[in-house]
């Protein structure tokens, strides 16, 4: 017969007090990272699940957090959601998922009136339709954590990676391969296109650092970071009098679309055109050829977002907004370095 694990048993395994375990599972900040890791390891090992129902009822909470993303059919967000759901479950919270399709009115409604409906206690939001000012004007009583490229400005927590540095490194990789006509697919020069703008900035910085010329006609705008837009942009580039010999794509889906268009034209990747993507989605690793990519630490982004929103839920007064950066790395595969080179240990 199944027996519920007690908080005291977790404390004994972790070698800490019951109060420390309580602080960790309730998201309080006064615990060191080392201690928090020991407690979470014990929680996972024993299968401990906090009984938050009584606590939530007493404190007028729902025991649920909302996770709001632009598109559920985008693998990056589905992979990120899995990590968020796992991290929330460990803390005894359920997750409500919503898709906005980038509708600013829908996003605005969630950050202005969500908590008053008692459907959820806090929101983890990846905005697409709202600009920086609209996010800053959110209901201050709502615990809010923002993912992506909007900065906090002290009014909410922001969890993301350094997009400029990551994009610069991806572009430098292409330049260091000896490619001279680099294209960029995914630019979005409008107020809510911060992600694309930061990646374009990194693309330009790489050329500046390497003393290379930026070919302005090879920077292509796309409305979304999807396969169809990547394929359409790649066909446009191949129709130019001087096509590119390498492409930095602002998502792996864009890269998959670009590779499809190149294959249609009978071109080889990477021999004729090298391609690198962004996000490190699972599909990219199994593409033909496998796609080189910028790999953000999605698991750390997910767990950090959950920790911060629960901390805000538990706080009587909202803590100052924080800028939290997760690490990233380049994953080099066949689409840039070829099958022989990528099979060698790196």
- pLDDT reported for residue 86: 92
Q: Is the dihedral of CA 151, 278, 37, 68 positive or negative?
A: positive
Q: Which stretches of 26-95 are DSSP H helices?
A: 33-46, 52-58, 75-90
Q: Give pTM, 2 decimals.
A: 0.80
- pLDDT reported for residue 136: 78
Closest Cα to residue 277, out of 289, 294, 262?
294
- pLDDT reported for residue 340: 61
- pLDDT reported for residue 177: 97
Pairing between strand 219-221 and 144-147? unpaired
- CA atoms of 322 and 3, how far apart (whole Å): 40
Q: Do domains 52-160+297-315 and 163-296+330-342 have the same CATH topology?
A: yes
| CATH architecture classification, 52-160+297-315 | 3-Layer(aba) Sandwich (3.40)
- pLDDT reported for residue 269: 98
Contact, 60 vs 279, CB < 8 A? no
- pLDDT reported for residue 2: 44
Provide the CATH number for the domain formed by 1-50 in this structure. 1.10.260.40
- pLDDT reported for residue 59: 54
- CA atoms of 247 and 309, how far apart (whole Å): 37
- pLDDT reported for residue 26: 67
pLDDT averaged per 10 residues in sequence order, the chain, 346 residues: 70 88 71 84 80 53 86 93 92 90 88 66 90 80 87 81 97 98 95 89 98 97 95 98 98 98 98 98 96 97 94 84 93 92 54
Closest Cα to residue 50, out of 114, 6, 109, 83?
6
Provide the CATH number for the domain formed by 163-296+330-342 in this structure. 3.40.50.2300
Q: Structural domain boundaries of the chain?
A: 1-50, 52-160+297-315, 163-296+330-342
């Amino acid at each position: 017969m199944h027996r519920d694990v007690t908080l005291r048993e977790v404390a004994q395994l972790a070698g800490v007090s019951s109060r420390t375990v309580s602080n960790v599972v309730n998201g309080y900040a006064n615990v060191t990272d080392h201690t928090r890791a020991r407690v979470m390891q014990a929680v996972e090992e024993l299968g401990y699940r906090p009984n938050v129902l009584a606590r939530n009822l007493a404190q007028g909470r729902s025991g649920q957090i909302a996770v709001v993303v632009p598109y559920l059919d985008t693998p990056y967000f589905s992979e990120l959601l899995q990590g968020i759901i796992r991290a929330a479950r460990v803390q005894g919270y359920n997750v409500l998922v919503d898709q906005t399709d980038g509708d600013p009115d829908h996003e605005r409604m969630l950050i202005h009136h969500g908590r008053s409906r008692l459907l959820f206690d806090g929101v983890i939001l990846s905005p697409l339709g709202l600009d920086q000012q609209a996010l800053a004007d959110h209901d201050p009583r709502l615990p809010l954590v923002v993912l992506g490229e909007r900065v906090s400005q002290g009014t909410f927590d922001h969890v993301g990676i350094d997009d400029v540095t990551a994009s610069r490194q991806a572009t430098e990789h292409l330049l260091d391969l000896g490619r001279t006509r680099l294209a960029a697919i995914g630019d979005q020069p409008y107020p809510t296109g911060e992600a694309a703008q930061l990646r374009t900035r990194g693309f330009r910085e790489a050329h500046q650092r390497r003393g290379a010329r930026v070919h302005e006609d090879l920077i292509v705008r796309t409305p979304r970071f999807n396969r169809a837009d990547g394929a359409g942009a790649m066909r446009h580039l191949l129709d130019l009098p001087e096509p590119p010999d390498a492409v930095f794509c602002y998502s792996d889906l864009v890269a998959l679309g670009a590779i499809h268009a190149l294959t249609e034209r009978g071109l080889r990747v990477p021999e004729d055109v090298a391609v690198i993507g962004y996000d490190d989605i699972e599909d990219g690793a199994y593409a033909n050829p496998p796609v080189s990519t910028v790999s953000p630490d999605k698991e750390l982004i997910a767990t950090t977002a959950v920790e911060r929103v629960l901390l805000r839920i538990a706080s009587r007064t909202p803590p100052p907004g924080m800028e939290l950066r997760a690490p990233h790395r380049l994953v080099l595969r066949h689409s840039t370095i070829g099958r022989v080179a990528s099979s060698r240990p790196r």
